[in-house]
Amino acid sequence: MLKDAQVQPNAITVIRKGLIANPLFSTGPEGWVLTPPEYAGGDGARLGVWWDRYPGSRVGYIRAHPRVYKHPAREFDTTTLATTVTVATPTDNIDLSFNFLLRTATPLNSAYTATLSITSGATVVYTRNFTGDPGITWNGIIGIPLPTPAWTGDLTLTFTFVAKSGDEKYSGPVFEVTQAQIYANVEVDIDDNVIIGTVPYTAADLPDIQFVQSPFGFPNGRKELVLVHHNHPPHWLFFDGAGYTFEPIVFTNEPSAWEAGNYPAACTSYLGRLILAGADFDGEVFAVNTSNTETVWGTKSGKWDEFSDPLDPEAIAPDDSIEFAATYRSPIQWVYGQKSLLVGAQQFEYVASADGIFAPGNLGVTMQSTHGSNHVQPAGFGDMVMYPAEGGTKVRAMSASNADGGWTSPDMTLWAPELCASGIKRMYRMRNPHQMCVVLLGDGQLALFHYDKEAQVMGWSRYNLSANVVDFCVVTNSAGNDVLYLVVPRWVEGVRRLYVEAIPNWTDTNVLNYLTSASLYSSDVGATNVIPALGHLEGMAVQIVADGNYIGTRIVTGGQIELFYDNGLPYYFFTAEVGLAFTAYIQTLPLGSPDPGDVKRRVTCAVRVRGSSRPLINDQRPPDRDPATLMDRSQQVELFGDFKVAQLGSDLYQLVVIKENLPLRCEVLGIYSLTANNSV
């Protein structure tokens, strides 16, 4: 977890602002100067520097090949990657985030060097020379002071890789830079004047608010965010060029039945109309024959603040507003505009559609299922709409089915029946690194749904942040990636505070993505063995990464940690990351068979992983050393490997559990089994 913002009322909020647009090179090396430019050898092999990415992946990297023994016309002993960014806002310091690795069997030594530097003209702001064995990955986030306080100007970030002449007869080293980013800390003053207008909601109201974004912007070209709550009139939030305004919507011909407790409780957009629906979603405030719990309203097409005059004697026009109440007497919980207008009620799910134009006098309402819904906005997911059902203990996916002649709602939690036992509080869709549905559960934990319709692959995972999440939302950044923002309680220096935390990129390979409540430390006085300012982790067992090396687990005492070798000598470092352990965990489902009389068993099984060299598989790590490795050589760190699974025979269901409790990236590429059916 990267702590992107710490928000408290009437306080200064510090937000990390990215200055380099494409840190993961997912779209190419825009903004980077490659020296030398891309070259190709006589056999077609490219030499020098070029951009590439993993096959089938959106994560790219820049690859650099310096050469000792080189062709004079097309091979070079020095390759560089450089990009220049401008710091326009006065800033005291920046954060440097990077990740690159040495791919080949060539060690770094006096003949082969790698350097990372940040310069401002002739001034060196930061520089670091790297040393290490083949297969090593260097990464981290480093705080760097700028030349002067409140500094502005241009910064150049440069990777330099050199292959000098020497006696070593290895092939040239290969470097892959997967991520490089400079952040500036931007301070924002949060006070009562950020939003102009009165916000009527209490803390108890917030979980029940539903909202939808207007594509039009009335009346002055603004694109408002419309919010509804059954105890308050519909409001909208908009930016007018100078600040944010929050105010009630003044509707033309507002329905006369709207009043406290009977205001719309659900909203969506459909065919250019603002759709408002329901009222008190529990159906307790008003009698069934007087409340609006089953009513749906649609504004005029393209006019989100206007209803038609009910007393207008003219003929009904296609763009007139719409109002209807279904015969299915059950409080409406949500509405969603898809191929039809979908309506979820406490006991039913039904559809409003038209034979032609969706307009007054030309629509029909038909029931599709009777699973029952909760008052949580659904999440669009491909051609499906995910919604909470059965009292919020299941997630169902409503989708059109030609075979059934209507809409079906299969249970998406059928294979994980206890997943949502604590209830569902909120749902959103994400598209990073692939399409996911994120569900906030009643116990404050997150569940993630993954689904690929074409590949017929579906699965759930849990995301534990060592805290109970209060709420969350998804915001799309300038690169088109969805970023998950969470409100999380943390204990800081003995005081419980709410923090806004963000996961800026799910494919980021930084160590800190695998530590929660993380703290960054960079020494500005030289090497040290003390990590201070850890009061928020006092007395806790934390994991430590110092200068890119995993140190292990320590207990925070007196708000700090001192690092020592086993022989008692101090362990000195420049940068360190400290945080609570984050255990990545995946478990297979039992093997199935179409014949209930058959029992399918695994005869052999292997797991293919990338990243972590030796994850826990059924609570065992593979051997630390391969017998084929020479005794006088270090064991090669596998970035890619197959590991046999032990302990299958005594397990009734032969489950395969893969874990990584270290802050290392572990990507499971496949689980391969030879199976047999025993007929009973």
Output the DSSP codes for 574-630.
Answer: SEEEEEEE--EEEEPPPP--SSTTEEEEEEEEEEEEEESSS-EETTBPPPSS-TTS-
Q: Supply the pLDDT for residue 82.
A: 93
Largest CA distance in the chain: 97
Identity of the amino acid at 661: N
The DSSP call for residue 107 is: P
Q: Residues, the chain, total?
A: 680
Q: Supply the pLDDT for residue 190.
A: 46
Q: Supply the pLDDT for residue 2.
A: 31
The low-confidence residues of the chain, meaning pLDDT below 50, are 1-13, 190, 192, 288
Q: Supply the pLDDT for residue 165.
A: 65
The answer to whether the CB of 89 falls within 8 A of the CB of 98 is no
The DSSP call for residue 83 is: E
Output the DSSP codes for 231-283.
Answer: TEEEEEEEE-SSSEEEEE---BT--TT--TT-S--EEEEETTEEEEE-SSTTS
Instruction: Please tell me the CATH superfamily of domain 11-187, with its number.
Output: Galactose-binding domain-like (2.60.120.260)
**φ, ψ dihedrals at 220, nearest 5°:** -120, 35
Neighbours of 106 (CB within 10 A): 19
The answer to whether the CB of 341 falls within 8 A of the CB of 352 is yes
Q: Supply the pLDDT for residue 268.
A: 94
Domains in the chain: boundaries: 11-187, 195-375, 415-509, 510-582, 585-679
Q: Supply the pLDDT for residue 260.
A: 84
Give tens-digit pLDDT for 169-211.
556 788 888 888 888 866 555 454 566 678 889 888 888 999 9
Angstrom distance (rounded) from CA 550 to CA 643: 22
Q: Supply the pLDDT for residue 475.
A: 86
Q: Supply the pLDDT for residue 245.
A: 84
3-state secondary structure of 360: coil
The DSSP call for residue 316 is: P
The answer to whether the CB of 210 falls within 8 A of the CB of 276 is no
Give tens-digit pLDDT for 364-385.
778 888 899 999 999 998 889 9
